[in-house]
Structure 1
Amino acid sequence: MHDRKRWRFRSARAEQPAIPPEAIALGFENSSDGVLIADMAARGHPIIHVNRAFETLTGYSAAEAIGKNCRYLQGSDRLQPEIADIRKALEEGRAASVTLRNYRRDGTMFRNALRLLPVRDRAGNATHCVGLIRDVTHEAGVDRLTGLLDRYGLLDRIAAANVPAASKLLLIKVDILRFHDVNIGFGYDLGDALLRATAARLATLPAIAISRVATDTFALALSVEDDDCANACVSDVLDLLRPPYVLPAASIVVQFAAGYAIDAHDVDPLQLARQAGAGLQRSKAEPTHPPHSFAVSDERDARNRIRLGSELQNARLNQELVLHYQPQFDLTSGKIVGAEALLRWDHGSFGIQPPARFIGIAEDTGAILEIGAWGLRTLATYAATVNRGRSEPIRFAFNVSVLEFMQRDMVQFVERVLAEAGCRPQWLTLELTENLMVGQPEYIRRVFGDLRQLGVGISIDDFGTGYSSLRYLEKFPISEIKIDRSFVHDVANSAAKRVIVEAVVKLGAALDIRVLAEGIETEAERGMMQALGCSFGQGYLFATPMEELDLHRLLDREFVIREGWDARRFLAMMDGSENRDR
């Protein structure tokens, strides 16, 4: 019975008409999937035929593809584990299905769902191989811009990872610092090109998974033997990303922050990703952005940040905000000529918090507008008090957030604050970072011009540390440049730093812009700044930030800096004299 059924089936198929070769060719050429045929009998398994969809998908014409081994589509990205699966399948003459990274003729990456099907002769030998290519870059779990996995694809891949029993799973997160400046300063097209170039470098690593998990954040999962190997892997990743990026119309050097976490088997992928993210936040928070491994304290700090964000809303109402002042000196006469007002939060539980601890939170929550307004009003009132009756007025500087310029009429607001406090515009300088001038240059130039007409100073803080341009000095009505402490530190032993500082000083003199060096901590740095022509400075060599009462005392006693004598010793001496007088 069963034999009769099988016979009838074979007979029925035998009676069907043969499919014309023209119909097969028509289907081949009009398939929506790319199709290639490779000759397995020839050396190197060259491609002998491709269809139109292959040409459209890869950007390579048939003439360019024929004769090549299909591995040319991977370019230099040859460390993908799927390639070993393909090689083994070809050696064994069996079918295979993998998803791997391929590259079009223009260099852009696409994720290729590849099926390999062997074609056998009557003896069972594989004579040819048919490859079916499908672009799955835009499918779920894949980042559309770079072709890497997205956040969900990363978590799925980690959950399915087959990590050897003697190894551990390492997750690294890297973040492009100041990526917003690249987008605004050079354009979103170049920003996208930078993301693709970063992805292409990361794709050369032998990772379990590589993904773009946020706008400018990438993550890699790797198998490592121990913690020492993890540290070496992180260093290798950062070394790979460090060289300049040559992009259309620009060549830029990019700095990265990095955080990582390592764990044994059966780890929760989401928890591991969260831990690596906590390490990344620590890296971003430090001035030099060194890579950080996850620590248990990171979770506590994250909870504290959430708490700070909530409590920051009431900081002004609870009178917890204060200003401390760091004097600025004439390096030749040693006299105090100004002071930078530095915002502090006197938190009931955490104590005095510096700006780096809460300004970012304030900007994220929108509290920065209220805090900034309080700071400017308080400073204007204090400046009016200090300068009442002074023959040589003290100029006070205050750092203003980019968001304040974007979300309020700064000219009208400053004019109103000055009038209410009885403060002359010449006593006030607004300090801003370079990235403010990148976003909307025409609007910012107009606002700066109006503020300068009022008489208010405009100072550029940390000059030279961002994606800056000397054209800022030409385009914008700036009254002061603050040389960043990174150029001041150990300047006596760095010829390059001396050249940079001297150039900035000469530019300032030529453009009638005051130049002030910040972060002076040694007599050698002070002497070199003077020798290079810088007239003004501030730093721990002279005075640390202090309460307004201490600044009043320095000004009343006409404190002058001299070698081996700083404000702290002077105030301590005054305290001793007053105690003896009592």
Structure 2
Amino acid sequence: MMDDIERHGLPASAFGEQLLSETLLSEAFERLPDPLGLIEGPSVREMRLIALNGAATRIVGLTRERALGRGLQQLLPPSRQDWFFGSLARCLASGEAWSYRTTLALPQGRRYLEVSLTPLAASAAGHRRVLLHGRDITDVRRLQEQLDKHERIYRAAVESSHYTIARYDRQCRRVFANAEFIRSAGVPLAELLDKTPLEYPGGPAMAAYQGAIQAVLAQGGPDEHELRWQDSKGSEHCTLIRLTPEFDEDGEVVSVLSVGHDITEAARYRHHIHRLAYYDTLSGLPNREQFYTRLRQILSQADTREGWVGLLLLDLDRFTVINDSLGHIAGDTLLQETAGRLSEYLGDRGFVARMGGDEFAILLPDLDGREVLNGWARAVLELFDEPYQLMGRELVVSASIGIALYPDDSLSADDLIKYADSALHHVKDNGRNGYGFYERGLTTGLTERMSLEAELRKVVERGELELYYQPKVDLLCARSAGCEALLRWRHPSLGLLTPDRFIRIAEETGIIVEIGGWVLRTACEAAVRWNRGGWADFTVAVNLSVRQFLGHDLAGEIQAILAETGCRPEWLELEITENLLLEDRDETRATLGQLRDLGLKLAIDDFGTGYSALNYLARFPIDILKIDRSFVQGIGRDESSEKLVRGIVSLARSLHILLVAEGVETAGQAAYLQQIGCHLAQGYLFAKPLSEEQLVSWYKQYRQQPLPGTLVEP
């Protein structure tokens, strides 16, 4: 061993180190996971494989014994030899490493390799040596293919997406925009890129949007922004945008991705829902809900500064009559025009809302005191001086106003509304067409009204209604001509109430339909008892409400009542008001015709006090006219009233219509009516309204002696 060392001319220690180094290199060469090989030869085409590690044998699928010593021409496929040898020659000529990628079809499948050729020092024999280093990139290649595939899918999704997608750099400049963004904007991509939202399309909405992007850039957190904008054609759009920060490898925000979803229809629907929730659909005014919100807001602001707040509740006079007579279309038109007049007059000086029905509310903040409200109330009422044009008719409508004042009347919003409402009802109960301020004690009347309304809903069920009867007489022969049924309510605590205390509430709430049915049935039952008891042709007149005609089978109801009670049609008269005939409605005409076909007589009550038009008498099947008591009261005192009564009598005679004078209280009035040809009358001269028992007594008495004011022919 030592002889060999000495022959090499090396010290023993140096030779040992060299041997150790070669051993380590050999072991490293063998254990490296990447395939390694060493080729050597005098020329490029004569190079042979002289070394191969374990990883290489696994890749090429050959053992060392079969691989070592073989020429490259034996290892390479013919189609690749010229290319490889040319590349190898250039590598050796330059003395620099060269890399290429190739594929190997192996039993375990196709593998992808990245091969490096590194020139080494020549051998002792002058042969060129090259180290082959291979790296298996099959998994990397497949991962890259997957990434490329996902990238293509992502790009396709982005470009075909119905969402608008854009990217903004740190200066808020647009660096990417997808096809949908370009389509929505309506301009070429070149006009979008490198522009901030404020630069294009610009405007206040885009300024807020750009501020949202800047906030995401600064804070590094995602955000949502609802953007309202106009496209190049001026169409309004609403987009919900998700802003997502994008980071670099150092965690710094470098851009913001904007993904927008068109919610234009949803925004319109949301706006519509808001309108439904806070605005009246008919008038376009704020509704009751928004009124309460605004009232509380104004009162809270008033607490922080000196000043008064006026609350005006306005109600159209006799709106129910107009609505029921002319129809709902006319009523709606009246409400819409009223809303327009109020809005135009108030402008931004006050707040007006529709509370429901024909009631409007007006808020007037920052007033100098109660006196100022007088001028406001008068000015609002003057808005109604101009006639309305409804269904081709000119109609004058008045209004009533109730007023409450903050803080004089109350500090509470609910109390102010209640007080203004009580003032309004006080005005309406005292003639309408005016205004009034809340005063202590008015709420008592309002509370009573609310209580009556609640109790009235069960009045039929509880059996608290009664009919009183006022006789009608023939002035010429002192014969009873029947009676008029008059409603009374025997209230458990208030006593006997006349219709003026509750009939208006029944009309407004619709309870009148149920009450009217009870009156018809009770009157028919009474007529049957009297006529079958020997009272020859004794008729009972019943007043009908306009509401009983509308949306209700009145003729069918009466026909059923006649059949159930056994009442003959000639024993029943039906009284209506002129207001029902104001509009020649098909529904009204049909119902009146059906009632006439049943054999019933129809009378117009209080003739001359409503919306009179003489052609109604020709168009509708009217049998009787009842002259209103206000005209009869003028007989002997007012020449105009006497002329008017004479004219009504002349008109009725020419149309062969019967006449009944109401409110006859003196013998002089009775004599005048006899003289001009009005022979039927009713009033206190003959009898006040009587209970059924009192009427029976009266009937027996009048048959024994003439009634006052009657003329018995010889």
Give your verdict on TM over 0.5. yes
Q: In the alignment, is the contact (CA less than 8 A) between 2:666 and 2:709 conserved in 1? A: no
Match of 1:372 in 2: 516
Match of 2:537 in 1: 393
- Hey, what's the Cα distance between the residues in 1 that align with 2:544 and 2:515? 10
- Hey, what's the Cα distance between the residues in 2 that align with 1:145 and 1:421? 45
State the 1:515 CA deviation.
Answer: 2.5
* 1:151 aligned partner, one-letter code: R
Q: In the alignment, is the contact (CA less than 8 A) between 1:336 and 1:560 conserved in 2? A: no
Q: How high is the TM-score relative to the length of structure 2?
A: 0.52
State the 1:476 CA deviation.
Answer: 1.9
Q: In the alignment, is the contact (CA less than 8 A) between 1:185 and 1:439 conserved in 2? A: yes
Matched, 1:177 2:317: yes
Q: Which has the larger radius of gyration?
A: 2
State the 1:277 CA deviation.
Answer: 2.2
- Hey, what's the Cα distance between the residues in 1 that align with 2:684 and 2:379? 36
Matched, 1:254 2:397: yes
After superposition, the Cα gap between the structure-2 partners of 1:190 and 1:445, relative to the gap in structure 1 and judged at 3 Å, is closer
Match of 1:424 in 2: 568
State the 1:353 CA deviation.
Answer: 1.9
Matched, 1:561 2:701: no
- Hey, what's the Cα distance between the residues in 1 that align with 2:328 and 2:458? 38
Match of 1:198 in 2: 338
After superposition, the Cα gap between the structure-2 partners of 1:524 and 1:221, relative to the gap in structure 1 and judged at 3 Å, is farther
Q: In the alignment, is the contact (CA less than 8 A) between 2:670 and 2:709 conserved in 1? A: no
State the 1:342 CA deviation.
Answer: 0.9
- Hey, what's the Cα distance between the residues in 2 that align with 1:536 and 1:221? 54
Q: In the alignment, is the contact (CA less than 8 A) between 1:464 and 1:483 conserved in 2? A: yes
- Hey, what's the Cα distance between the residues in 2 that align with 1:393 and 1:425? 11
Q: In the alignment, is the contact (CA less than 8 A) between 1:381 and 1:421 conserved in 2? A: yes
- Hey, what's the Cα distance between the residues in 2 that align with 1:462 and 1:142? 41
What pairs up with 1:83-122 in 2 under 5 angstroms?
Answer: none
After superposition, the Cα gap between the structure-2 partners of 1:489 and 1:239, relative to the gap in structure 1 and judged at 3 Å, is farther
Matched, 1:211 2:353: yes
Q: In the alignment, is the contact (CA less than 8 A) between 2:326 and 2:582 conserved in 1? A: no
* 2:356 aligned partner, one-letter code: A
Match of 1:221 in 2: 363
Identical counterparts, % of pairs: 36
State the 1:190 CA deviation.
Answer: 4.6
What pairs up with 1:399-418 in 2 under 5 angstroms?
Answer: 399-406=543-550, 409-418=553-562
SS of equivalent to 2:502: helix
Match of 2:680 in 1: 536
Query: CA deviation digits over 1:335-378, x for unaligned, max 9?
Result: 54232111112121121122243345556666545543433232
Matched, 1:433 2:570: no
After superposition, the Cα gap between the structure-2 partners of 1:221 and 1:453, relative to the gap in structure 1 and judged at 3 Å, is same
After superposition, the Cα gap between the structure-2 partners of 1:140 and 1:405, relative to the gap in structure 1 and judged at 3 Å, is closer
State the 1:175 CA deviation.
Answer: 1.6
What pairs up with 1:63-82 in 2 under 5 angstroms?
Answer: none
Unaligned runs of 5+ in 1: 1-11, 32-55, 57-136, 564-582
State the 1:244 CA deviation.
Answer: 2.3
SS of equivalent to 1:557: helix
- Hey, what's the Cα distance between the residues in 2 that align with 1:302 and 1:341? 29
Matched, 1:518 2:658: no
* 1:251 aligned partner, one-letter code: E
- Hey, what's the Cα distance between the residues in 1 that align with 2:369 and 2:538? 58
Q: In the alignment, is the contact (CA less than 8 A) between 2:317 and 2:432 conserved in 1? A: no
Query: CA deviation digits over 1:454-493, x for unaligned, max 9?
Result: 4322122234444554333222212122234455554666
Q: In the alignment, is the contact (CA less than 8 A) between 1:395 and 1:426 conserved in 2? A: yes
After superposition, the Cα gap between the structure-2 partners of 1:172 and 1:426, relative to the gap in structure 1 and judged at 3 Å, is same
SS of equivalent to 1:460: strand
Match of 1:113 in 2: none
* 2:359 aligned partner, one-letter code: T
After superposition, the Cα gap between the structure-2 partners of 1:408 and 1:254, relative to the gap in structure 1 and judged at 3 Å, is closer
Match of 2:288 in 1: 151
After superposition, the Cα gap between the structure-2 partners of 1:236 and 1:321, relative to the gap in structure 1 and judged at 3 Å, is same
* 1:401 aligned partner, one-letter code: S
Match of 2:625 in 1: 481
* 1:170 aligned partner, one-letter code: G
- Hey, what's the Cα distance between the residues in 2 that align with 1:361 and 1:176? 16
Q: In the alignment, is the contact (CA less than 8 A) between 2:550 and 2:587 conserved in 1? A: no
* 2:317 aligned partner, one-letter code: L
* 1:561 aligned partner, one-letter code: P
After superposition, the Cα gap between the structure-2 partners of 1:315 and 1:187, relative to the gap in structure 1 and judged at 3 Å, is closer
Q: In the alignment, is the contact (CA less than 8 A) between 1:330 and 1:536 conserved in 2? A: yes
Q: What is the RMSD computed on CA atoms of the aligned residues?
A: 5.0
After superposition, the Cα gap between the structure-2 partners of 1:368 and 1:534, relative to the gap in structure 1 and judged at 3 Å, is same
What pairs up with 1:230-245 in 2 under 5 angstroms?
Answer: 230=373, 233-245=376-388
Match of 1:552 in 2: 696
Matched, 1:507 2:651: yes
Moved more, 144-153 or 474-483: 144-153
- Hey, what's the Cα distance between the residues in 2 that align with 1:429 and 1:287? 31
